[in-house]
Every structure is written in C-alpha cells, then in structure tokens.
Amino acid sequence: AYVVTENCIKCKYTDCVDVCPVDCFREGPNFLVIDPDECIDCTLCVAECPVEAIYAEDDVPDEQTHFISLNAELSKEWRPIIEKKDALPDADDWASVKDKLDQLQR
Ligand code: SF4
Ligand code: F3S
C-alpha cells in the first residue's frame, strides 16, 4: 500500500484525493491517511501531492517508517474523503517545516 507521511501534517492539500480510483483516503483534522486494505498501489496519488508526502510502503524513508502503522491505525478511525477541498489555512507556511508529528491532531 501507499503511505501518507509527515509532510502532509497541517497542510492537507487534498490533491491526492481526486485521483484515487478506490477512494481509500481517510481524513483527520490536519492529516490524511491511506487505508492499506483498500489501496491498490496504482501510484497516481504520488505525483499529485505538492509536498511529496506519499510513498510506496517499501520506499518510506527510514526516519518515517512509523507512518506505516499510523496510516493503518488512523484509517480505521477516520472518515473517507472523496473530493478535493481547500487546504488548511496555513498550509503554505507549514509545507517546509520538519518534525511536525507533535502537531498531529486525532
Ligand atoms: Fe489511491 Fe492509488 Fe494512491 Fe493507493 S496508490 S492511495 S489506490 S491513488
Ligand atoms: Fe496531504 Fe499531499 Fe494529499 S499534503 S492531503 S498527501 S496532496
């Protein structure tokens, strides 16, 4: 499955959502995740994300591998998002910030 990683936090541009053929994105307050049981590895979402937050599970950078289990966990709690919507208000300010995991809202 594909995995949403740290760069998405507090940005949530949602361009990824529009291209997913199986609607497997799930939405939290300031982050999206992919349901690993639904993702068909089509790769389409990767190029859509302006902050390059999406990786194939095998390609997630070493320092972000905890996002694999986080996507699996949160995808069972959060609701589907199937259409693009406005990014979060301060998305552009947060786009280049590193180590944002402590900002994640559940
Ligand atoms: Fe959806 Fe394809 Fe991205 Fe998986 S890889 S989340 S199926 S767009
Ligand atoms: Fe997040 Fe990128 Fe999608 S910022 S909402 S993974 S387009």
The DSSP-derived string for 32-96 is EEE-TTT-----HHHHH-TT--EEEGGGS-GGGTHHHHHHHHHHTTSEE--S--PPPTTHHHHTT
Determine, yes or no, domain membership for 86: no
Specify the DSSP element, H or E, that contains 17: helix 15-19
Hey, what are 105's tokens?
A: 């809202």
Q: What confidence tens digit (pLDDT) does each residue in 42-54 have?
A: 999 999 999 999 9
* Residue-averaged pLDDT of the chain: 98
pTM of the model: 0.98
Determine, yes or no, domain membership for 71: yes
Q: What confidence tens digit (pLDDT) does each residue in 46-96 have?
A: 999 999 999 999 999 999 999 999 999 999 999 999 999 999 999 999 999
- Nearest-atom number in ligand 2 for the CA of 54 is 6
Distance 52 CA to ligand 2 centre (A): 8
Domain that holds residue 75: 2-79
Domain CATH for 65: 3.30.70.20
Hey, what are 59's tokens?
A: 């390609």
Distance between CA atoms of residues 58 and 29, nearest Å = 27
In this prediction, residues 4-12 reach a mean pLDDT of 98
Determine, yes or no, domain membership for 45: yes
Determine, yes or no, domain membership for 91: no
Pocket of ligand 1 contains residue 44 by CB under 6 Å:
yes
Classify residue 61 as exposed, middle or buried by CB count within 10 Å of its CB (0-12, 13-18, 19+).
exposed
pLDDT value of residue 95: 98
Distance 79 CA to ligand 2 centre (A): 16
Q: What confidence tens digit (pLDDT) does each residue in 9-39 have?
A: 999 999 999 999 999 999 999 999 999 999 9
CA angle 69-74-80, nearest 5°? 130
